[in-house]
Amino acid sequence: MGLTVPYVTSYLSEHFADDAYATLDGYRARGGYEAAQQALRTSPEDLIELVKESGLQGRGGAGFSTGLKWSFMPTDGGKPKYLVCNADESEPGSFKDRILLERAPHKVLEGILIGAWATGSEKTFIYVRGEYAFPARQLQRAVDEAYAAGILGAKVLGSDFAHDVVIMRGAGAYICGEETGLLESLEGRKGQPRKKPPFPAQYGAFGMPSTVNNVETFCHVPHIVANGSEWFRGFGTEKSPGTTIFGVSGHVVRPGLYELPLGTPLEEIVFEHAQGVPNGRTVKGVIPGGMSMPILPASQLDVPMANEHLRERKTMLGTGGVMVMDETTCMVRAGCVITYFFRDESCGQCTQCREGTGWLHKIMERIERGAGTPDDLDILLDVAGKMEGQTICAFADAAAWPVQGLMRHFREDFEEHVRQRKCPFPESFEL
């Protein structure tokens, strides 16, 4: 069965519709594993340099330079080193990694192999979110095929390099997408993030030097090896090269996956690719990069989708999950859904987050019910401000930012609830 949703193809997704691409034969017939062969003939130092030059930034949300991250791995050869593939995609609005695992599992493995060679890692743990049963099966099948063909194991692609891959399934915890929460989970514990430093490159999985990269990040790597850093920089902006797979959801005619260069204007994604809002309605707001990222109002959809531009609008690319809300949408209801999620998923380790997420949700619900007071608006911002930057990991920031974004651009919605003592948006989506 081919992919049934609309998509735009570039190098990552060009074979998405092709079922054979998920098999080893199909992948190899389309040039698969040639980049890995080439990488194994290149020194790890040169490979890391190549990825640095390409400007590839992590596609899991934080946007850190992949080449730089790889270069943090120690080279003294004292301890075993591990690579970790973060396939715990749980950011609401994001589903690109799922489709990459389902449609192109060998591309993920090829990126991993190149990363493993570059960082000198002997084993990769792929942490797949528990709910992704089908993607995990597709990936396991690919891993089994790769072992049988000598692509994984003692002699990777006939070389003297040995590499093993272990797939582990999570069990339903958003926080395990945070890289050190993931490492704790990998070690069989509650997924409570670690204090940093030490960073994973010094003390990672099972106490060994480790590098954690996102699924999509790995998928760019074979293309960079095969075509060079200049080619890669031909996509996107100077500061944010390459494409990414935008997942578009919410009130649009054609929700789906759209692989486009970074820097593509948000309005092009919403109106051209996703074909705008149905039922003759207009856009009210768009969350540009997964639910943790602050919303933008309709007046700011001209923004190029790259961090250097999004930061000027006080938001970020995150995971590229674009959520569109039409003119009927009650932004307080959206706030209720968002704050409920973060309340539910806080790991409970830091007081500011454990208590703050609860208060944000409680106050948001109170305002939606019509029981809010004018003070509540300031209390929301006060609580959010006291969570941001105060905790072990970025989860509290991720919970605070969307509330700040809603208040920044849609404060009137909140004020109207308080004034009318009820929700003034009868046509909004149901809560």
> Which stretches of the chain bind other proteins, using CB under 8 A?
5, 80, 89-95, 97-98, 129-134, 166, 168-174, 185-191, 206, 208, 247-251, 255-257, 287, 291, 321, 323, 325, 329, 334, 337-338, 341, 344-345, 347, 429-431
CB of 125 to other proteins, least distance (A): 8
Q: Which is nearer to other proteins, 231 or 429 (CB)?
A: 429
CB of 330 to other proteins, least distance (A): 11
CB of 279 to other proteins, least distance (A): 13
- CA–CA dist 225, 298 (Å, integer): 39
C-alpha Rg value of the chain to the nearest Å? 22
CB of 13 to other proteins, least distance (A): 14
CB of 230 to other proteins, least distance (A): 33
Q: Which is nearer to other proteins, 262 or 347 (CB)?
A: 347
- CA–CA dist 366, 377 (Å, integer): 11
Q: Which is nearer to other proteins, 257 or 384 (CB)?
A: 257
- CA–CA dist 411, 388 (Å, integer): 20
Q: E strand or H helix at 119, and its extent?
A: helix 105-119
How many CA atoms does the CB half-sphere of 13 hold within 13 Å? Answer: 25
- CA–CA dist 310, 316 (Å, integer): 5
Q: Which is nearer to other proteins, 132 or 395 (CB)?
A: 132
Contact 284, 327 (CB under 8 A): yes
Contact 61, 318 (CB under 8 A): yes
Q: What are phi and psi of 246, to 5 degrees?
A: -80, 135
CB of 184 to other proteins, least distance (A): 10
Q: Which is nearer to other proteins, 206 or 231 (CB)?
A: 206
Q: Mapping DSSP to helix (H, G, I), strand (E, B) and coil, where does residue 128 land? A: strand
**What one-letter code names the amino acid at 358?**
G
CB of 122 to other proteins, least distance (A): 10
Torsion sign across C-alpha atoms 261, 338, 64, 161? negative
CB of 164 to other proteins, least distance (A): 8
For residue 382, give both structure tokens: 């006060």
CB of 186 to other proteins, least distance (A): 6
Q: Which is nearer to other proteins, 164 or 308 (CB)?
A: 164
**Cross-strand bridge partners of residue 7:** 257
Contact 7, 258 (CB under 8 A): yes
For residue 43, give both structure tokens: 């020194």
Q: Which is nearer to other proteins, 40 or 337 (CB)?
A: 337
Q: Which is nearer to other proteins, 262 or 295 (CB)?
A: 295
Q: E strand or H helix at 53, and its extent?
A: helix 44-54
Q: At what angle do helices 215-227 and 96-103 cross, to 10 degrees?
A: 60
Q: Which residues contact 175 (CB under 8 A, 6 or more apart)?
A: 181, 191, 192, 193, 345, 346, 347, 393, 395
For residue 394, give both structure tokens: 């970025």
CB of 398 to other proteins, least distance (A): 13
Q: Which is nearer to other proteins, 113 or 126 (CB)?
A: 126
Q: Which is nearer to other proteins, 151 or 248 (CB)?
A: 248
Beta strands in 4-81, from DSSP E residues, in sequence order: 7-8
